[in-house]
Amino acid sequence: MTDSSTYVPPAVWQPAPSGGTFANINRPVAGPTHDKALPVGHQPLQLYSLATPNGVKVTIMLEELLALGHAGAEYDAWLIRISEGDQFSSGFVEVNPNSKIPALVDRSVEPPVRVFESGSILLYLAEKFGALLPAEPAARTETLNWLFWQMGSAPYLGGGFGHFYAYAPEKFEYPINRFTMETKRQLDVLDRQLALHPFIAGANYSIADIAIWPWYGALVLNEVYGAAKFLSAHEYTHVMRWAREIAQRPAVLRGRRVNRTWGDEATQVPERHQASDLG
């Protein structure tokens, strides 16, 4: 260990500046900070999001549904700039009291249905359109096993490894080692599964792949955290094969551009309201 000092927690914690990326939007309370209604477009589905891994799950899902011919999956994708606190508006909190993207409102039904948490959105859409989730009980359960695996595992990758490796104001050996160990264990779980199957939950592409790829696929392709070399991602050969194959799907290529405001301008589509917005 190389840490030069030891933090001694006080008897009662009090808020203090934490530094690091996203420090300006961290706070110990919920609820809105300002009054602002959310925009509403003409499409049946209204998405409020940003092209983070969790946001990309939903835009990929919607583009995959449209590619399968489900016209009811047309959507307006409104940009939520989390670094500017858009997620704390009264309108957004009304849709998602947890103030996290993505959030969806299905206005094709009356009354409209709010759906928050990316895994819940994927499941809602799969059931609504009868797609990308097997109907047979055992196959359905296996797909949901992996969907919920992602929901439970990714916080260790994002909030743990990603934060301390890429975003924290200082580098500390203990948390980086702790969360690197867990991230590599998770990659090995996926690698062993993908050694036996072409897709995460078996023979067919599903919401399990859509949930896991934006985190773990992008990780091994060095598209999040710039940590592929550090993690020896090339050693996870089955994950690498799967990640590269998913990355080439046309719906994935489209979905990744939606609500994106950084990188190559050709990859940015801050808002999407119709198919032609993606060229």
Residues 51, 34: Cα–Cα separation, whole Å: 23
Answer whether residue 122 shows pLDDT above 90.
yes
The residue written with tokens 């500390």 in the block is: 172
Q: How far apart are CA 206 and CA 224, in angstroms?
A: 22
Residue range 37-75, pLDDT digits in tens: 999 999 999 999 999 999 999 999 999 999 999 999 999
Q: What DSSP state is assigned to residue 222? A: T
Each residue's pLDDT tens digit, 152-172 = 999 999 999 999 999 999 999
Tokens encoding 101: 């993207």
Predicted local confidence at residue 23, as pLDDT: 78
Tokens encoding 210: 């859509």
Question: pLDDT (tens digit, 9 = 90+) per residue, 249-272?
Answer: 999 999 999 999 999 999 999 999
Burial class (CB in 10 A: 0-12, 13-18, 19+), 226: exposed
Share of the chain above pLDDT 90, in %: 92
**Is it the case that residue 3 has pLDDT exceeding 60?**
no
Q: What is the mean pLDDT of residues 94-101?
A: 98
Rounded to an integer, the average pLDDT of 75-87 is 97
pLDDT digits 0-9 by tens, 185-198: 999 999 999 999 99
Looking up tokens 């399968």, which residue turns up?
A: 68
Residue 99: pLDDT band (50, 70, 90) is very high
Q: How far apart are CA 174 and CA 219, in angstroms?
A: 21
**pLDDT(217) > 60:** yes
Measured in whole angstroms, the distance separating CA 278 from the mean position of its chain's CA atoms is: 20
pLDDT at 20: 75
Instruction: Count CA atoms within 13 Å of residue 75 on its CB side.
Output: 29
**pLDDT attached to residue 4:** 57
How far from the centroid of its chain's Cα atoms is residue 34's Cα?
25
Distance CA 46, CA 53 (A): 19
Domains of the chain: 45-132+257-278 (3.40.30.10), 137-247 (1.20.1050.10)
Residue with tokens 């695996």: 149
